[in-house]
Amino acid sequence: MNSDEAKKELLKRVKSLNIEHLRYREIWSELDSLRPEEGMHGELFSPRHLFLYGESGVGKSTLLRKYAKRNPGYVDVDEDGTEYDIRPVVYTDLPQPFTMYEFYHQIVNALGAPQAAGTKVGDVKQQAVELIGQQRVEMLILDEMDFILTSRSVKPIEAMEAIKNLTNIGNISVVCAGTTAAKQLTEINFQYYSRFPSIQLPRFVECDKRFCDLLAKIEEHVDLPNPLGLGDLDVHYPQLLHRMSQGVLRPLIHILQRAFTIMLNEHELDDLDDHELFVNALLIAKKYVLGESEEKFLELLNKAETYEA
């Protein structure tokens, strides 16, 4: 493989950068526990639910999409040879703007079905409920719960009642996801609070071993020709990257992707482990990823995290 081909392969790995860190696996284990054991259906199964929250960029949507992908649908064939689509885990965003009609329509779309004739909310709801039963849905993941807060036509309690009703009729587990602000939806009353216990997906608050391990896994995924030491505190990359990203996964990944791209475009493969060149690339990348005001990034992050319902 020549140098240009090696660069292209490395760039592919950089652009596909997406690491499963320990907190992902912990939450995936919790999601597994919400679903019924094989053969346990109907009255034998009493579903539990969850509200996953965390600030924008910590990886909630990525975590949940990956979980759905790890539990794909399949085709089941009955004794008569009739084929049925089975989807044990279904992921969908809530609509923006949030309306009851679009809420059920979004679920129908996620289940891979065309919208049935009829324009009434009840028609689309009925179709969604029937599909959930037909496709043996065990878990419905509803992302972007913040859209409920900005709806002009649906009150938060009405939206939560619709979700609760869906869990009761379909006898399925529902996992909701949103920011810290959206967590207030579970605090409208004790019923929602007890039904949807909240679990946080936090940023890496400290530049600790967990953060260093994440950086080491990123370097392993990128598979550089020479070691860089991204996760080595003695090389000081962890401290620099933590200060830049404040431990938020999305800007961290984007800064590294942009920095590696700069290095590959402007330098040779053997220069990738040049400390001074790579630090300069990180500083340039940070400006394009975070904007020119690092202070504003930190101010808005702190404001979001200290939100009180």
Give the model's pLDDT for residue 119.
74
242 close to 205: Cβ distance less than 8 angstroms? no
Mean pLDDT by 10 residues, the chain (309 residues): 85 86 89 84 77 93 94 85 88 96 95 80 93 94 97 96 94 95 95 95 93 94 92 96 93 95 92 93 92 72 62
Residue 292 DSSP symbol: S
* pTM, rounded to two decimals: 0.87
Question: What are the C-alpha distances in Å from 292 to residues 277, 288, 295?
Answer: 21, 8, 9
Residue 187 DSSP symbol: G
Give the model's pLDDT for residue 142.
98
β-pair partners for 83: 77
The answer for 84, left when phi > 0, alpha when psi is -120 to 50, beta otherwise, is beta
Give the model's pLDDT for residue 113.
87
Give the model's pLDDT for residue 41.
57
Give the model's pLDDT for residue 78.
77
Give the model's pLDDT for residue 106.
96
Distance CA 188, CA 173 (A): 20
143 close to 64: Cβ distance less than 8 angstroms? yes
CATH number of 35-200: 3.40.50.300
Give the model's pLDDT for residue 117.
67
Give the model's pLDDT for residue 309.
40
Please report the sign of the dihedral spanned by the C-alpha atoms of residue 291, residue 293, residue 18, residue 279. Answer: positive
Give the model's pLDDT for residue 307.
57
| 19's tokens | 């690491």
Instruction: Give me the helices (H) in 71-189, please.
Output: 100-110, 121-134, 146-149, 156-170
Reply yes or no: is the peptide bond before residue 97 cis, omega within 30 of 0: yes
100 close to 154: Cβ distance less than 8 angstroms? yes
